[in-house]
Amino acid sequence: MAFKKRFLKSEDNTGFGTNSNNSGGRFFNRDGTANVQKIGTGILNRYSWYHTLLEMPRAKFLLLMIAGYLGVNLVFACIYYMVGIQHLAGMAEGSPLKNFSEVFFFSTQTFTTVGYGRISPTGFTTSLLATLEAFLGLLSFAIITGLFYGRFSRPRAFLKYSPNAVIAPYKDGTALMFRMAPYKNNMLSEAEVKLTMAMEVDEGGVKKDKFYNLAIEISKINSLSLSWTIVHPIDENSALAGFTEEDIRNTEMEIFVFVKAFDEIFSNTVVSRTSYLSSEIVWGAKFRLMYHPTEDGRSTVLDMRMLNTYDKVTLPDPMPMPTPA
C-alpha cells in the first residue's frame, strides 16, 4: 500500500509522530483514552489525582472510598490501642478483640465528628489524637463531597459506538461506515464528527505513520437523538481507494473518531473519542436499522442492542487506486 503516500496528501501536524518504530499499539483505546504510558517523573507528578478519581469506574471509586475510610480508622484505632485504653473514659474492659472493636468504633465516631459521648478521650496525647483525627475527617469528607459532585455533574457525551466499522455498498461504490448513538436521556445538538486515518507505509525501508483526513458525507447534524451512521465514501480522493479485503487485513491502520456536541442540559460542549483498527473493520457488511416506531405509532424506539448488528453483503469492485496528476 506504499502507493498511497505518493498521490494523497497526508497530515504531518497531528501530534502523533511519524516514525512507526517509535510508537507501539493503537494510538487511542476504544474508550477514547490515549494509549500512552508516561515515565521519567515521580508517581505524584505523573498523575492528576483529581482527573484520575473523576474518570475512575463507579464501582472502583466506591470501593476505594470505603477502603480509605476503613483504612484510616484502622490506623487511628491501632494508635489509640497502643496509647492505652485507660485513656478513653467510659470504655469497659474486656477481651483484646472487644477492646479493639470499641476503639475502632470510637475512631469512626471521631473521624465523622458524630461523637456519641459514651467514650471520650482523657489526657493530652489521646485528646491530641482525637483532635487530629476530627480535623482529618472534616477535610476528607469535604474532598469526597467535592469528588461525588464532580463525578455527578461532569459533562459527558454518553455515546456508544459500534464495536465494528464496516465496508458497505454506498451509491455506486462503497463506503466506510460505523455507528454511534446516545444511550442516556441527554439531548445533544450541533453534533460534529471528524475522522483521521493513521496508516503505516514503507519509505525506503523505513516504516512511517502517515495520517489522512477522511471526508464524511454528513459531518454535522443539528440534533443527535437516534443512531447516527457515519459514512466515508471511498472515492478517488479517499485514502482507502483501491483497497481490497486482503489489503485492509494486511495493512496497519487505525481510524480516529473525534466527536463534539453541545449538551443542552449541561449547557456545555462535550467531546468523545474512539478508534478502529483494521482488524475491527468488517468487509462486505451493512448495518441493520436499530430503531422502529412503537405499536401506537406515537414514539420511536431506539434499540441499543442492535448497535453492532449487520448483514453480510456483496460489494462492487473496489475503487481503482489513485494515479498521479
Taken in order 8, 12, 13, 19, the sign of the CA dihedral is positive
Pairing of strands 291-293, 285-287: unpaired
pLDDT mean over 4-16: 56
Query: Looking at the predicted structure, is the pLDDT value of residue 7 above 60?
Result: no
Q: Convert the pLDDT of each residue in 263-307 to its tens digit.
A: 988 889 999 999 999 999 999 999 999 999 999 999 999 999 999
Q: Is 173 within 8 Å of 184 (Cβ atoms)? A: no
Q: Convert the pLDDT of each residue in 43-88 to its tens digit.
A: 778 778 888 899 899 999 999 999 999 999 999 999 999 998 888 8
Q: Which amino acid is at 325?
A: A
Q: What is the pLDDT of residue 74?
A: 96
Which pLDDT band, with edges at 50, 70 and 90, does 34 fall under? confident
Residue 62 is placed in which grid cell?
Answer: 466506591
Which pLDDT band, with edges at 50, 70 and 90, does 23 fall under? low
Q: Which amino acid is at 173?
A: G
Q: Convert the pLDDT of each residue in 240-265 to its tens digit.
A: 998 999 999 888 899 999 999 999 88
Which pLDDT band, with edges at 50, 70 and 90, does 17 fall under? low
pLDDT, averaged across the chain? 87
Query: Looking at the predicted structure, is the pLDDT value of residue 1 above 60?
Result: no
Q: What is the pLDDT of residue 197?
A: 93
Q: What is the pLDDT of residue 22?
A: 57
pLDDT mean over 136-153: 93
CA distance 256 to 274: 6
Which top CATH class is 4-30+163-312? mainly beta
CA distance 146 to 200: 45
Q: What is the pLDDT of residue 8?
A: 63
Which pLDDT band, with edges at 50, 70 and 90, does 19 fall under? low
Q: Convert the pLDDT of each residue in 178-228 to its tens digit.
A: 999 999 988 899 999 999 999 887 767 777 788 999 999 999 999 999 999
Q: Which CATH architecture has domain 43-153?
A: Orthogonal Bundle (1.10)
Q: What is the pLDDT of residue 91?
A: 81
Q: Distance of CA 291 to CAs 83, 176, 246, 287, Å?
A: 67, 21, 33, 12
pLDDT mean over 13-31: 65
- Structure pTM? 0.77
Q: Which amino acid is at 305?
A: R
Q: Where in the chain is the domain with CATH 1.10.287.70?
A: 43-153
Q: Which amino acid is at 197?
A: M
Largest CA distance in the chain: 94
Q: What is the pLDDT of residue 5?
A: 44
Q: Where in the chain is the domain with CATH 2.60.40.1400?
A: 4-30+163-312
Q: Is 314 within 8 Å of 285 (Cβ atoms)? A: no
CA distance 311 to 318: 19
Structure-model confidence comparison of residues 208 and 308, the more confident one: 308
CA distance 175 to 164: 14
